[in-house]
Amino acid sequence: MGARAPAARLPALRLAPRAGIRAHGGAHRDRPARVLHRQARAQGIGRHRQGVAGLAAGRRLEEEGVRRPRGEPVIATRTRTAAKPRSRNRRGEGERLHAEILEAAGRLLLKTGDEEAVSIRAVADAVGVTPPSIYLHFADKNALLLAVCEEQFRLFGEYVESRCAHIDDPIEQLMARGKAYVQFGMEHPEAYRLMFMTRASQMPRPEDAMSDASGYCRLLDNVKAAQAARAITEPDAELVATGLWAMVHGITSLAVCVPGFPDVGLDRLIEHV
């Protein structure tokens, strides 16, 4: 019979004494420390200042996309961030957070009517993100307020056009446009103040963008159509459009800002103008 092959030696955990001893009940005893196999240590599971449980918790946080400040215990971070108020965007949904920020800032502005009450932190809390996340979409608070103002103009334009775009007669369309303008202000006074009576509404913006947002371009086209139909004899279309806008805007501002503004009937007032 041949000689028996030596048994394979398996890598196993071993206990090594830790330097130093401590007193316990008047006697001294060693404090052994577990030393893991080098393959386990290569995976990052060994002696860790927060322990194996802390390291595992930190990895779970990283998998969930939660970052922690340098040096902060992962167990404490895990406890504080366990209830995540907002789910992460899926692939292709990068604009969702942008829209949620605009919506939250708009709600705060319309609710308080005070731009100073709308802070980056307040908006972040309303959305369920951290303040730095806001700055990934807007450079500063002024940029956010301007974007909110422009969004209100977009909604305002949709409101007006939905009430007059289907009308073929240019004069009747002008009448419907003016009524819709005033009705929007009376139905949404906070939004109207935000659009025209706040610091955000006075921020510099491209002239063409302002004309489109306010509906002036569509009003001007409406006036030109009325001129072509010989319903308006004044040759200067911009003069007519600007005058009509000023009169309708004045009526709306008075109705929004002046308590007890005389109720003479919107239809009669627009027809007279």
pLDDT at 223 over 90: yes
Q: Which fold has domain 148-272?
A: Tetracycline Repressor; domain 2 (1.10.357)
| φ/ψ of residue 32, rounded to 5 | -70, 150
pLDDT at 205 over 70: no
Distances from the Cα of 16 to the Cαs of 13, 21, 43, 63, in angstroms? Answer: 10, 13, 20, 33
Q: Is the pTM above the cut of 0.95?
A: no
Residues 46-55 pLDDT 10s: 444 445 445 5
Where does the pLDDT of residue 129 fall: very low under 50, low under 70, confident under 90, or very high at 90 and above?
A: very high
Q: What is the pLDDT of residue 171?
A: 95
**Which of 26-30, 73-77, 137-141 is predicted with the least confidence, judged by mean pLDDT?**
73-77
**More confident call, 218 vs 71:** 218
Q: Which fold has domain 95-138?
A: Arc Repressor Mutant, subunit A (1.10.10)
Q: Where are the domains of the chain?
A: 95-138, 148-272
DSSP helix/strand/coil, 29: strand
Q: What is the pLDDT of residue 5?
A: 55
Where does the pLDDT of residue 226 fall: very low under 50, low under 70, confident under 90, or very high at 90 and above?
A: very high
